[in-house]
Amino acid sequence: MVRAKHTPSGSPLIALLLEHWKLLSQPLLYLSLFFKQHRAEYYRRLDAVRSDGDFEGWLSFFLEGVAVVADEAVATTQDLFALVAADRTKVLAGSTSSLMAARLFELLPEHPLVTIASAVKLLETTKPTATKAVGALVNAGVLVEGTGRPRDRSFGYAAYLKRLVTGTELSKS
């Protein structure tokens, strides 16, 4: 009998199966990091399923992971909502703010990395107008230029991106 090797990277497959079975409308919870952070327990639970048929123990561990990841997702969403609200206030209060800057700001959560060219497309406007909108967001402290070049620059919604990755790294210990 050939046995599949179980690894923490199997978590996306689980999410896709839950989506396929119509238990999730889309794969929103990714358990890979939880499994990696609890690697010893993960393998112990899988071994108990194989050796003792302890599906209940595995399911309990899996559901604990779902609860932890769901709580983290809620906290991240709340933090992002608060960040966007605070930054919206900064943008609207900025001395160089404009309607186009406000429109571009509202698009940043879906497009947290922009160039002048992408701003032109997103705003359906001219290069000078897009440049002014990006400049207003830089002046408000929302966008940060990331290339250090005078041409072909890219800008990122740094605080938003930083919050998105917070807690997604394995500790160095």
pTM of the entire structure? 0.74
Amino acid at position 45, single letter: R
- Do the Cβ atoms of 29 and 66 come closer than 8 Å? yes
Evaluate whether 50 touches 5 at the Cβ level (below 8 Å).
Answer: no
Residue 21 has pLDDT above 80, yes or no: no
Identify the pLDDT of residue 50.
Answer: 93
Provide the percentage of residues in the chain whose pLDDT is more than 70. 83
CB count in 10 Å sphere of residue 172: 4
- The model's pLDDT over 22-75, given as tens digits with 9 standing for 90+, comes to 776 665 677 888 999 999 999 999 999 999 999 999 999 999 998 998 898 889
Least confident range of 7-11, 56-60, 78-82: 7-11
Q: Where are the domains of the chain?
A: 8-75, 94-164
The predicted pLDDT at position 160 comes to 95
CATH number attached to the domain at 94-164: 1.10.10.10
Which backbone phi and psi does 99 adopt, to 5 degrees? -60, -40
Residue 93 is predicted with a pLDDT of 94
Output the pLDDT for position 151: 86
Token couple for 150? 């005078």
User: Quick one: tokens of 155?
Assistant: 């800008």
Residues 92-115 have a mean pLDDT of 95
Instruction: Take residue 135 and report the two structure tokens written for it.
Output: 């400049």
Confidence of residue 8 (pLDDT cuts 50, 70, 90): very low
Mean pLDDT of 121-133: 97
Could you please report the per-residue DSSP string of the chain?
A: ---PPP-GGGHHHHHHHHHHTTSSSS-----HHHHHHTHHHHHHHHHHHHHH--HHHHHHHHHHHHHHHHHHHHHHHHHHHHHHHHHHHHHHH-TT--HHHHHHHHHTTT--EEEHHHHHHHHT--HHHHHHHHHHHHHTTS-EE-S--SSS-EEE-HHHHHHHHTT-SPP--
> 90, exposed or middle or buried, with CB in 10 Å at 0-12, 13-18, 19+?
middle
**Sheet architecture: strand order including 113-115:** 113-115, 154-156, 144-145
pLDDT above 70 for 10: no
